[in-house]
Amino acid sequence: MFIKPRPLGSSSLEVASLAADKKNCIKIGPCGIGEKAIYLNSFFLDRIYYAEYTRIDRVFKRVAMSKGGFTGKGIFGSIPYLVVLFKDGTEKTCNFKYEFQVDEILEKVHEAHPGIPIHSRDAERRLAAAAAAEEARYLKELSPEAEKSVEVLREAKKTLENNMPLSSRLAFDAKQKRTLDSINPTYRYLAVMIFAAAVVCAVWGIKTVVEQGIRVGGVYVLLGFAFIFFIISSRVLPSGQSNKKYGDECYRRTLEEMERVLGGTADYPLPAVYAHPIVIDRMIRVIREGRTKTIDGAMELVKADLKALNPSVTVTQKEYDEVVIVKPLFTVNDYA
């Protein structure tokens, strides 16, 4: 190990065992998931601390918002943290740049150590209350036809759960295709023109610096590179992975793979274009609410519910998390 991580609390790991565990840990952002310990960051250094799983009481996500997020003025944004609460009551908070990395760590911890809760106690109470409220919406008894529909959908969900990476990739590719399709070609042409002008400006500036000194050409160099980086960061500039053809091809390949997987399942109850466990969960939900008894009816209601959602509609966090994943599956196919 280049830098030996320091234990949080007492530790029984030997140096050799610790070195091997850290080397082979799954690195996610500034932290890591090993077989024997979780590796945590300081403000400046990645994976500089470690804690054995036997000392951990729970691991959960905390999202803070900068002051501007509440005032609506200035630059603001959410700040995700990973919080590790120990059995002695102490805790370690790790800052992250991307929230999805915190979610990935929690998923890995839950898979390897299902006995460690991945929600705070307050969050558990809120989730329990939300689950009770949702359960209250469901009918106490379903008709035989509705029961049969729910049973078929639950069996279909098992097939998708066994191919979860494929379902996730289909949702990702649909979202990517939708994003690339929505970029106006005019913006791309404009981005190319600005990029070309910025390159010319930077080259002219470098030439001027060489011939007349930095005072004369420095401003052209800075201005040229500023616009170059701006255009690149905007992701509007056409590239090998940022064009409509690439998005269409990725989505087509993934959809064909999903169709092959579901082709071996006789009478699969929903089209491959919507093959995601969350879609089935929502179909089961509308049947249990008594809004329909059939699978076809459930699909039409799911489409209608998703189509009705727009930025002006307020939804729960659970609803939001579901919608951002599966709505592109429907919009990219125009809810057909």
d(CA 134, CA 285) in angstroms, rounded, equals: 9
Any idea what the Cα angle at residue 303 is, between residues 159 and 313, rounded to 5°? 120
Mean pLDDT by 10 residues, the chain (336 residues): 77 86 92 94 89 93 61 54 92 88 92 93 88 88 93 93 92 87 73 84 86 80 85 66 79 93 81 93 94 94 89 75 89 89
d(CA 219, CA 237) in angstroms, rounded, equals: 24
pLDDT at 67: 45
pLDDT at 238: 65
pLDDT at 33: 95
Yes or no: say if 39 and 25 are a contact pair by the CB < 8 Å rule.
Answer: yes
pLDDT at 266: 65
d(CA 128, CA 11) in angstroms, rounded, equals: 35
pLDDT at 71: 42
pLDDT at 277: 94
Q: CA-based Rg of the chain, rounded to a whole angstrom?
A: 26
pLDDT at 158: 93
Secondary structure E strands in the chain: 6-7, 26-28, 31-33, 37-40, 49-52, 56-65, 78-86, 91-95
pLDDT at 65: 56
Yes or no: say if 23 and 37 are a contact pair by the CB < 8 Å rule.
Answer: no
Yes or no: say if 197 and 231 are a contact pair by the CB < 8 Å rule.
Answer: no
Sheet of 78-86: strands edge to edge?
56-65, 78-86, 91-95
- How does strand 6-7 pair with strand 49-52? parallel
Q: Is the dihedral of CA 102, 106, 112, 113 positive or negative?
A: positive
Single pTM value for the model: 0.64
d(CA 308, CA 53) in angstroms, rounded, equals: 44
pLDDT at 68: 42
